[in-house]
Structure 1
Amino acid sequence: MASAGSVLEKKEKRQFMDDYIPLRVVALTSRILPSYVEYVVRVQRGPNLEERWDVVHRYSEFSALHEFLETSGITLPIPPKKMFGSKDKEVIGERQKGLQAFLDTVLCEPLLANTWEVKRFLDPTTYSDEPHEAALRNVSMVFRSHPEWTVTEPVRNIGWRFRKHYYLVANRREEKIRYFLTWFEPGPDFALNDKDLETALKLLSGIKHQFILSPVSAIYNGVGVAVMRQFSSRGSLHDVIYNCRPQNHVLKKYGVPCKWRILGVPDVVKYSRQILEGLKFLLDKGFVPAQVHAGNVIIEGGPTASIARISDIENTLLGLPSYYHHYLYSYELRKVQTMEAVLSYSFGQLLYEMAMCRPLNASVMENVPGDMPAVLRPTVESLLSKDAVKKPLPTVNDLIENEVFATVAIDEREKQLKVPNRFKEELLKCKSMMESRLQAQQKKVQQQKRLDKAKDAILSEEEKKKRRKLQKKQMSLQTDTSYVSYPTTEIRTDRPPPKSTAPAPKRSSKSHLTKQASASQIPTTTSTAAVPKPPPPPAAVAPPPPPVVSAPLPKTSSERGALLGSIHTFSKTALKKTVTNDRSGPKV
């Protein structure tokens, strides 16, 4: 049984861990063991170079992960199995490249990268515990103090957040009404204390607005939050677009659907205006619901009289990252730094998905699709184009006043939400903290991008060639400079020796010829450069030495040349005779 200290430590770690910071595979190597081959995967979390670790897997584990992710219908390349020769170096090299491509493809798909199985595969230390059993225990503990609620059926993996768990529940007082329960723990941006959080949940439960789906009950037990809402048979806007049942697995629902449901332009405009009205109401009351996306917009009513209602408003209060969290860290969105800007950008992504009946799957819109309705094209461009995200984005009020959405008639109904002034100050603190964290992460990403760009420039082939040429040029310049700087180090071998005052020995011509002949008969075992030539025979009477003509010297070494010349032409006969007066004897 774990101690109380370890439980609190684990809770603290989960509270501030951001599960949705993108992971990437930095390197993939292999090592051959006697009975099998292991593949070592180096993983990095976000732009922080200190958060790196190695994970060891066999090919069978890669294959099992591929089999699980195949249910999404997304094409994932993986090397084929080998019955024989799996330890050959060529096979291992090809398989290593294929597994690297497989992981890169998985991590580029947010739907796949955010699954528990992928997180556990790349970080088994952090994601070792099974989350569903712990969530069910917490829900059971919550219902002990609220016996009017009971769990009817657990519904697993129907949403993109793997730490958010879903259950069908019933109220004993109203058995005919079906309710949907969500259980989740606070996220990395959670800043409220327990008392303020309970106040916020009570406020959310008391919201009355036709375009906001407020919770029936919200309970916080110190570990997580259990939120109950009425069950909608049509599901979310995401379910309507993908034409799927709400209770299906998230990979089967939102992978590659069999058939899209195309929304007409009137429905897109109507849903957009209803969503904007709900967002405006929350902003006016001090809430910043930066969690808007197709998954938390619930569609209610029939096909002819359907309305869109915003759900899961508590996500921002609990500090959960937004659906487009991974895009906010990209270099293109470095100017999106406030929660209002994040809200406008998220609405742009939602509008694109409604208009095109498919997600953008990119941080910005490079080009406007040709099949986009002309009525919606200017609005989408003002929210998602490359030039638009570099400037302040349109606010919610600006979008409501847009001529496209202003034509929708809205029935004025009762609206209710009273927020105390003290709690508004706490909401402002939470907003400021989330913005500071977002800007800090964006700064890290930009710094890492500069470092990667510099490394690529250094390691590129063209840069290598330039560096080789520059090194050769520097070496040649150093050689030339060394020769010019030291001109007097080269000594001429043909210069005659200095004149000696001693008389030259007399040699007969016969003895000289005999010695010369004997020297010519000696076999040369080494190169001729290694054996010096015999000196020429001196003349009987040495003529006076000719004047030494030194090699022309540079101007900078003229004094040194004059000194060497005077040394070569020095003669003792030019010295004056001196008389020595010896005074060393003793005096008597």
Structure 2
Amino acid sequence: MALLERRCSERERTDDTETLSCTIEAAQTLHSYTEYIIRIQRGPDPKECWQIVKRYSDFDTLNTILQVSGVAPTLPPKRLIGKLDREFVSQRQRGLQAYLDTLLAQPCLACCENVRRFLDPTSYPDSYTELALQQVSMFFRSEPRWEVLEPLKDIGWRIRKRFFLLRPKDQPKARLLLSWAEVGPDSYLSQKDLQAALKLLPNISHPHLQPIVLAEAGEKSALLVQPFNETGALRDLLCKSRPGEPYLRSCRRKGPGLPLSQLQSFGCQILEALNFLHECGFPYGHLHSGNVLVQGKTCRLTGLENSILGLPPLYRAELASHRRLAAMEVGDVFAFGLLLFELAYGRPPDTIPVETFEPSIPPLVASVLQSILSADAVRSCLPTVPMLLDSPLFHGVPLPRSEKPHLKMTSRLKESLRGLQESTEQRLRRDNREKSRQSLNEDPESPLANGATDSTLSSPTTTPSTPTPTGSAPPPPPPLLSPSPTAIATNDSGPARGALLSSIRNFQKGILRSAAVDNPDCDTEGI
């Protein structure tokens, strides 16, 4: 186990889901143009920062690319005369800062490859498609039965994952989807276990999991072949887009949510697939509307390889912000709540957690959303997948007839996948602690901001002793087994002590709020 942990630490990679923050620190005028010096920070660690220098024309080029999304922020206007004036440069700097703040506040744009490359050109070179094509070509030298037709550019949100249209040479009209991806920052499995886990994928059979034709592992990457779905994913259905269109087009939501009957059917099918994976001990963690393929009245989950490769989930920033969401099964339930919100409203929520739900959705849907996405839910306890299946919204929903599910793995592989899940959850918890510490540092009223250290905060607090009156000492407290108020001796030692004893007598145990700790028996009356 230690060897695998050391190997994982040696292959740390940039997490593409880590939030970026930008500050334009200065502007400098050179000849006929102005350069803006921007400081970028990745995540909560102030040591993870660097500087870039950009001109207004660089911002304009990026903004032109983002226009296809329909949600790009407004860029400060161009100016030909007086553009080097000091007051105008200062005004433009404030406008560009507002542009960056708005850009990074939208998750759909913040994880976009063009935005990431604009802010971090060192970590995101413009060569992933060529690298993927080289790897795929090397593989197909030993697999002559396949033929690569064309690359499918800008599909999906992942920067380090590339897709190609494929066909078997003996079936010219058939179309398959080939995906290639590098291992991610949560990579844990040894090369042998990685190959065994990928070989398992084509043997998984479930009516609501996308079948996989081929899965092969390279040294630091993997490729998969699966049927190409002409209908697309739930994201395409909600955005009224076609499969294969650029991911940025899905940022613009055109229509309302799904009808209640369709929402119930798709939701129940997704829960059945999640329940199957959880029962088999297979870590998933990558549920979102782009990973649910639709074919008629049936939907199927895809992206099973992502967790095996150690790729971070789309909602990792939200999971790392809440301590209770670190467990992978709990994260699946949270992601299901976000997906259910999309199905109900036709768009993702504006803020997480969600405090209020518009009355336009049925009460049954609002009740389930409340039990998953509310602030109280993410702070205490989320329902489990079996609880959701038994809720009034999904209980008894008829499902399409299908074949019997099948997933069989060796005990060694199951143990390796368990270690992978634990490693992924540990990094989430570590990031959550770092974010909490950073929040305390930024809070002027917190002990850390006033010079206290973590060891000071973690040391046990000492309760100040009550001043003892001059005279006979008060009698010792009664045993815990005899909590009767009459057993507590009162003492005329002062009004403060009398008030304390009075508050103890009047204490009501029922006002205490129990803390739920990942317990499947937690209260879920809101479902």
The normalised TM-score by structure 2 is 0.81
Q: Deviations over 1:20-39 (max 9, x none)?
A: 21111134321122332110
Map of 1:311-322 to 2, 5 A cutoff?
Answer: 311-322=302-313
Query: What CA distance in whole angstroms lies between the structure 2 residues aligned with 1:356 and 1:422?
Result: 43
Which stretch shows the higher mean deviation, 14-23 or 435-444? 14-23
Residue 82 of structure 1, CA deviation: 1.1
Match of 1:403 among 392, 415, 421: 392
Query: What CA distance in whole angstroms lies between the structure 2 residues aligned with 1:179 and 1:234?
Result: 13
Partner of 2:325: 336
8 Å CA contact 1:353, 1:359 repeated in 2: yes
Query: What CA distance in whole angstroms lies between the structure 1 residues aligned with 2:144 and 2:319?
Result: 42
| Change in CA separation of 1:98 and 1:14 when aligned onto 2, cut-off 3 Å | farther
8 Å CA contact 2:206, 2:406 repeated in 1: yes
Q: Deviations over 1:323-358 (max 9, x none)?
A: 11122233xx23222111111101110111111111
Partner of 1:246: 243
Partner of 1:446: 436
Partner of 1:482: none
Query: What CA distance in whole angstroms lies between the structure 2 residues aligned with 1:163 and 1:241?
Result: 25
| Change in CA separation of 1:78 and 1:26 when aligned onto 2, cut-off 3 Å | same
1:84 aligned to 2:81?
yes
Query: What CA distance in whole angstroms lies between the structure 2 residues aligned with 1:207 and 1:367?
Result: 40
Match of 2:406 among 380, 392, 416: 416
1:213 aligned to 2:204?
no
| Change in CA separation of 1:136 and 1:388 when aligned onto 2, cut-off 3 Å | same
| Change in CA separation of 1:395 and 1:12 when aligned onto 2, cut-off 3 Å | closer
Partner of 1:535: none
Q: Which amino acid aligns with 1:338?
A: A
Q: Which amino acid aligns with 1:271?
A: F
1:204 aligned to 2:194?
no
Query: What CA distance in whole angstroms lies between the structure 1 residues aligned with 2:119 and 2:286?
Result: 27
Partner of 1:437: 427
Q: Which amino acid aligns with 1:150?
A: E
| Change in CA separation of 1:119 and 1:412 when aligned onto 2, cut-off 3 Å | closer
Q: What is the SS of the residue equivalent to 1:177?
A: coil
Residue 455 of structure 1, CA deviation: 8.8
Match of 1:30 among 27, 32, 36: 27
1:353 aligned to 2:342?
yes
Q: What is the SS of the residue equivalent to 1:174?
A: coil
| Change in CA separation of 1:456 and 1:262 when aligned onto 2, cut-off 3 Å | same
Who wins on radius of gyration, i.e. which is larger?
A: 1
Residue 93 of structure 1, CA deviation: 0.7
Q: Which amino acid aligns with 2:376?
A: D
Q: Deviations over 1:34-57 (max 9, x none)?
A: 332110000000001101111001
Map of 1:348-497 to 2, 5 A cutoff?
Answer: 348-410=337-399, 411=401, 413-454=403-444
Which stretch shows the higher mean deviation, 269-278 or 172-181? 172-181
Partner of 1:157: 154
Which stretch shows the higher mean deviation, 81-90 or 32-41? 32-41
Q: What is the SS of the residue equivalent to 1:134?
A: helix
Q: Which amino acid aligns with 2:409?
A: V
1:177 aligned to 2:174?
yes
8 Å CA contact 2:132, 2:162 repeated in 1: yes
Partner of 2:294: 299
Map of 1:226-305 to 2, 5 A cutoff?
Answer: 226-252=223-249, 254-257=250-253, 259-260=254-255, 262-301=257-296
Q: What is the SS of the residue equivalent to 2:299?
A: strand
Residue 454 of structure 1, CA deviation: 2.0
Identity of aligned residues (%): 37
8 Å CA contact 2:17, 2:313 repeated in 1: no
8 Å CA contact 2:32, 2:84 repeated in 1: no
Which stretch shows the higher mean deviation, 144-153 or 128-137? 128-137
1:324 aligned to 2:321?
no
Q: What is the SS of the residue equivalent to 1:16?
A: coil
Query: What CA distance in whole angstroms lies between the structure 1 residues aligned with 2:65 and 2:128?
Result: 18
Q: What is the SS of the residue equivalent to 1:152?
A: strand
Residue 255 of structure 1, CA deviation: 2.2
Query: What CA distance in whole angstroms lies between the structure 1 residues aligned with 2:104 and 2:233?
Result: 25
Query: What CA distance in whole angstroms lies between the structure 2 residues aligned with 1:171 and 1:455?
Result: 65
Q: Which amino acid aligns with 1:406?
A: H
Q: Which amino acid aligns with 2:385?
A: V
8 Å CA contact 1:28, 1:96 repeated in 2: no
Residue 447 of structure 1, CA deviation: 1.0
Residue 146 of structure 1, CA deviation: 1.2
Q: What is the SS of the residue equivalent to 1:26?
A: strand
Which stretch shows the higher mean deviation, 415-424 or 94-103? 415-424
8 Å CA contact 1:242, 1:261 repeated in 2: no
Q: Which amino acid aligns with 2:319?
A: L
Residue 276 of structure 1, CA deviation: 0.8
Q: Which amino acid aligns with 2:423?
A: M
Instruction: Give 5+ residue unaligned stretches, structure 2.
Output: 1-7, 450-527
| Change in CA separation of 1:196 and 1:80 when aligned onto 2, cut-off 3 Å | same
Query: What CA distance in whole angstroms lies between the structure 2 residues aligned with 1:458 and 1:447?
Result: 8
Q: Which amino acid aligns with 1:390?
A: R
Q: Deviations over 1:527-556 (max 9, x none)?
A: xxxxxxxxxxxxxxxxxxxxxxxxxxxxxx
Residue 424 of structure 1, CA deviation: 1.1
Residue 457 of structure 1, CA deviation: 12
The normalised TM-score by structure 1 is 0.72
| Change in CA separation of 1:343 and 1:138 when aligned onto 2, cut-off 3 Å | same
Q: What is the SS of the residue equivalent to 2:166?
A: strand
Q: Deviations over 1:397-448 (max 9, x none)?
A: 1111112211212446322111111111111111111111000001111111
Residue 66 of structure 1, CA deviation: 1.1
Match of 2:106 among 106, 109, 117: 109
Query: What CA distance in whole angstroms lies between the structure 2 residues aligned with 1:100 and 1:458?
Result: 29
Query: What CA distance in whole angstroms lies between the structure 2 residues aligned with 1:166 and 1:91?
Result: 45
Query: What CA distance in whole angstroms lies between the structure 2 residues aligned with 1:76 and 1:353?
Result: 22
Match of 2:141 among 144, 147, 156: 144
Q: Which amino acid aligns with 2:176?
A: Y
Partner of 1:19: 16
Q: Deviations over 1:58-112 (max 9, x none)?
A: 1111111111111111141221111111111110110000000011111111111
Q: Which amino acid aligns with 2:205?
A: K
| Change in CA separation of 1:83 and 1:145 when aligned onto 2, cut-off 3 Å | same
Query: What CA distance in whole angstroms lies between the structure 1 residues aligned with 2:267 and 2:160?
Result: 29
Q: Which amino acid aligns with 1:260?
A: G
Q: Which amino acid aligns with 1:297?
A: V
Query: What CA distance in whole angstroms lies between the structure 2 residues aligned with 1:12 and 1:33?
Result: 44
Query: What CA distance in whole angstroms lies between the structure 1 residues aligned with 2:35 and 2:72?
Result: 25
Query: What CA distance in whole angstroms lies between the structure 2 residues aligned with 1:342 and 1:276?
Result: 13
| Change in CA separation of 1:140 and 1:179 when aligned onto 2, cut-off 3 Å | same
Q: Which amino acid aligns with 1:446?
A: S
8 Å CA contact 2:75, 2:95 repeated in 1: yes
Query: What CA distance in whole angstroms lies between the structure 1 residues aligned with 2:136 and 2:395?
Result: 44
Which stretch shows the higher mean deviation, 91-100 or 157-166? 157-166
Residue 129 of structure 1, CA deviation: 3.9
Residue 260 of structure 1, CA deviation: 1.5
Query: What CA distance in whole angstroms lies between the structure 2 residues aligned with 1:162 and 1:13?
Result: 22
